[in-house]
Amino acid sequence: MCAQHTFQVRLASRPDGMPARTHWDMGWNDINGPSDGEVLVETAFISIDPAMRGWLRDAKSYLPPVAIGAVMRAGGVGTVIASKHPDFREGEQVVGHTGVQSHALVPGDTLRKVNDTVAPLPTFLGPLGIPGLTAYFGMTEVGAVKPGDTVLVSAAAGAVGSIAGQIAGIRGAGRVVGIAGSNEKCRHLVEDLGCDAAINYKTEALGERIREHCPEGLDVYFDNVGGDILDAALAHLRIGARVVLCGAISQYNDLEAVRGPKNYLSLLVKRARMQGFIVSDYAEQYQSAVEEIGGWLAAGTLSYRTTIVPGLETFPETFQRLFTGEKLGKLLIQVV
């Protein structure tokens, strides 16, 4: 057992609204380990995810809240520098819950080996990680996308949405339309990711554009955003539509005043269903999904973007970018 100097981002207080720099404590600390079963990981990239906002609330959810004073929970990818777990050796690359810190002691049983000769390390936090798996199971299982379907995706230029839209296309959807928050992102959706059309929800009349681009109505609506955008989509469902409740980022900074869907009667009239899911529901199928997604990446039928911000000390402002939209694809912090 040895002491390791590590730079850590800890939760100082619970935000009410948009998290700011004042909600975090940052600095160098010593950690001692690894103990039996643990692995000491030097992190290379930290995943910045909307779910982190939920973990800051002192409320019951699918994971316990991050305690005041604790290292912020996050996914990360890095290299093993010491191991007391029989499956891991120094020098191996791993992905898991490292937290927002430069070095992390992680139970070996929760880590997965990765390899940057197979794909660049950020890929394992993007299409070959939780965002890719979320898109995959959300679109194929919950959305049950079928050939010929008309599919609408919100936050379509983000980590999950960008993969979800492309998977719809790969699975034979007849029409894929993305919603995003800038003209540049809309151009990217059509020119780079193969969407048939894109709608800038900040500048265009959303309902009118959905009607124009999806005149027969929606078979699948993959919702990352909630609020007004969910309502607009509900008004355009086709009979038998599937609404995938993946996330609701427009609501995360004010959960006391969550806006429910006004247009939910559309589900009744259109005999549609709206279903939420948590990606870990599908953990037993991760391996086969990763292989299929990896095959699409290798074949060039699936592409992705990353926005990589250097320096753990940028965490407070980098985290805000999820809510301001100042990023394209998967948002990461590069540690080393």
Q: Which residues sit at the interface with ligand NAP, rule CB under 6 A?
A: 49-51, 130-131, 134, 155, 157-161, 180-182, 185, 224-225, 229, 246-250, 277-279, 322-323, 325, 327, 331
CB 284, min distance to ligand NAP, A: 15
CB 137, min distance to ligand NAP, A: 8
Beta carbon nearer to ligand NAP, 39 or 246: 246
How far apart CA 266 and CA 270 sit, in angstroms, is 6
Beta carbon nearer to ligand NAP, 4 or 306: 306
Beta carbon nearer to ligand NAP, 185 or 213: 185
| Contact call for residues 236 and 177 (beta carbons, < 8 A) | no
Beta carbon nearer to ligand NAP, 203 or 288: 203
Beta carbon nearer to ligand NAP, 12 or 144: 144
Residues 6+ apart with CB under 8 A from 188: 157, 180, 305, 328
Beta carbon nearer to ligand NAP, 161 or 217: 161
Burial of 244 (0-12, 13-18, 19+ CB in 10 A): buried
For residue 237, the cross-strand partners are 218
CB 46, min distance to ligand NAP, A: 13
Beta carbon nearer to ligand NAP, 103 or 327: 327
| Contact call for residues 145 and 168 (beta carbons, < 8 A) | yes
CB 325, min distance to ligand NAP, A: 3
CB 27, min distance to ligand NAP, A: 27
| Contact call for residues 327 and 303 (beta carbons, < 8 A) | no
| Contact call for residues 319 and 100 (beta carbons, < 8 A) | no
Rounded to the nearest 5 degrees, what angle is found at the Cα of 266, between the Cα atoms of 265 and 267? 85
Beta carbon nearer to ligand NAP, 33 or 329: 329
CB 72, min distance to ligand NAP, A: 16
Give helix 159-170 / helix 286-299 axis angle, nearest 10°. 80
